[in-house]
Amino acid sequence: MTSRRSLPTRPGAAFQEFMDKSRRLEGQRLTEAIPREYFTPRPARGLLGFAVSWALYAGSVLGLVFAPRWLLYPPLLLTAGLGGWGLHCIAHDCGHGSFSRSRRLNVAVGHLALLPLLYPFHSWRHVHNMHHSHTNNLELDTDWRPLPPALYERLSPWGRAVYVGTRTWAFWGGTIRYWAVSGYRPGFFPKRSMRREVWRSIAFTGPVCLAYLVWLTAVTGPGGLLLYFVLPWVAIHLWFSATTLMHHSASDLPYLTSEHWTRNAGRLLLTTDYTYPRALSFLTHNIATHTAHHVAPAIPFYHLPQAQQALKRAYPGMVREQRLSPRGLWTILRSLHLYDEQAGFYQDFAHNKVPAEDNRD
C-alpha cells in the first residue's frame, strides 16, 4: 500500500505529539527494562491454563447438548467462545515460544489448542508474526489495517460490503476473514520454509477436524453441527475479533506509513491494554496485558502483569491502559472505519469524501 504522497498530508498537533514520543524511544532497548526472570517459562503452569480452557470449552458444548431450555443457549455459547478464545491465547504463547523451551511441546500444544478454531497452527503463527513485525504499519500490518478512502472506493461492491460489515455490525467476521485468507492457503506465505510448515499443519488439522465434523453430523444431524460446533466457532471469533480490534484501534492512535513507523513505537506506543475483571483475566490468560507482550513476546502469559509494571516504571506515560467497558468497543464500531490521510488517524464512513485527484488513474 505504498503512496506517491507523504502521509499524513496535514499532520496536526496530536500526530506531532505521537512522533515526539516515538523519537524519544529511538535507540532504546525496551526489553532491558524487564527483569530476566520473567522470561522463564513454567510448562506446568501453561498446561494448567490449557486444561482450564479445554474444560470450559468442552463443558460449555456439553451444556448445550443437555440444556433443558433454549434460553440457556446464549450464555453457554458465550462461555464456549471464551473457552475457545482461551485456547487460542495458549496457542499464542506456543507460537512465540514462550509456552516452554521445547519446540516440539510448543508445536504439539499449539496444534491441539487451535482445533476448535479449525486453524492450522503454523498458518496462524506465521501470519501473527507478520503483525508483530509491523504493528499499526499502514502498509504492512496484517491485523485490522484501515483502508484510505480512495482504496476503499476502488473495492468491488462485495469487497466494500465485507469491509463495512467487519468494521461495524459483523465485526466478529473480521478474524474469520483472516482465517479464510491465510488458514489453508500455503501460497499466502512468501517463504518456502513457511509454506512447508503450513502444509504440515494442514495435514494434521484438516483430517482431524473433518473427521470430527463428519462424525458430529452423522450423530446429531445438521442442527447438531450448527449448535455444537458452528455457533461456538463463531463465538470464539467474536472474542477473537473484539479483543484484537480493541488492542490496536483508538481515535488517538495513528496508523503510520513506513516513513514514520519505527519498531519501538510499534512495540510500546501502539497498543491499548484493558483492565479485565480478575476471573476474565484468568480465563483469557492475561491477553489484555498486551503492551508487555508486544515489547517481549518471549514472556509467558503468567508473567505479563509483572513485566507490564516494569515497563510502566521505566517509561512513565508511555503504556496505554483503560478499564474494559462495552462503550470502548461501541466507540470503535461507530467511529473508527477508514484511514484519515490528512491527520493520520481514523475517520468514520460518514467523512468518506474522496478528493477528485484520488480518483484519477
The percentage of the chain sitting over the pLDDT mark of 90, rounded to a whole number, equals: 94
Q: What is the pLDDT of residues 239-263, one digit of tens each?
A: 999 999 999 999 999 999 999 999 9
- How far apart CA 281 and CA 91 sit, in angstroms, is 16
What is the C-alpha to C-alpha distance for residues 44 and 286, in angstroms, rounded to an integer? Answer: 17
Q: Pairing state of beta strands 320-323 and 272-275? A: parallel
How many structural domains comprise the chain?
1
Instruction: Dihedral sign for Cα 172, 272, 26, 313, please.
Output: negative
Q: Does the residue 78 lie in any domain?
A: yes
Q: Report how far residue 80's alpha carbon sits from residue 60's, in angstroms, rounded to the nearest whole number.
A: 5
pLDDT confidence of residue 107:
98
Q: Where are the alpha helices (DSSP H) in 168-191?
A: 174-182
Separation between Cα atoms, residue 302 and residue 284, nearest integer Å = 11
- What local confidence, expressed as pLDDT, does residue 6 receive? 87
- Positive or negative, the CA dihedral 15, 19, 20, 21 is positive
CB 224 within 8 A of CB 217: yes
159 assigned to some structural domain: yes
What do you get for the CA distance between the two ends of the chain, in Å? 15
- On whether residue 248 sits in a domain, the answer given is yes
Does 3 map to a domain? no
Distance CA 17, CA 11 (A): 10
Look at the pTM and tell me if it is higher than 0.75: yes
Say if 14 falls within a structural domain.
no
Cis before 254 (ω within 30): no
Q: What is the pLDDT of residue 357?
A: 40
- Residues of the chain with pLDDT below 50 are 1-3, 354-361
- In the prediction, which pLDDT does 4 show? 52
Averaged pLDDT of the chain:
94
Please report whether residue 295 resides in a domain.
yes
Rounded Cα distance between 280 and 286, Å, is: 8
The grid cell for 107 is 508445536
User: Looking at residue 353, what is its pLDDT?
Assistant: 53
Q: Give the three-state DSSP class for 34.
A: coil
Range list of β-strands (E), 58-193: none
Question: Residue 273 and residue 250: Cα distance in Å, rounded?
Answer: 11
Crossing angle, helix 103-113 and helix 192-225, to 10 degrees? Answer: 30
pLDDT digits (tens, 9 = 90+) for 280-296: 999 999 999 999 999 99
**Looking at the domain assignment, is residue 222 inside a domain?**
yes
Q: How far apart are CA 145 and CA 135, in angstroms?
A: 9
d(CA 128, CA 106): 16
* Distance between CA atoms of residues 319 and 292, nearest Å: 9
Residue pair 95/129 in contact by the 8 Å Cβ criterion:
yes
What pLDDT, on a 0 to 100 scale, did the predictor assign at position 360?
37
Which candidate, 110, 42, 86, places its Cα nearest to that of 286?
A: 86
- pLDDT value, residue 351: 75
Return the bridge partners of 273, or none: 321
Structural domain including 141 reads: 32-359
Instruction: Quote the radius of gyration of the chain (alpha carbons, Å).
Output: 21
Residue 1 inside a domain? The answer is: no
206, amino acid identity: G
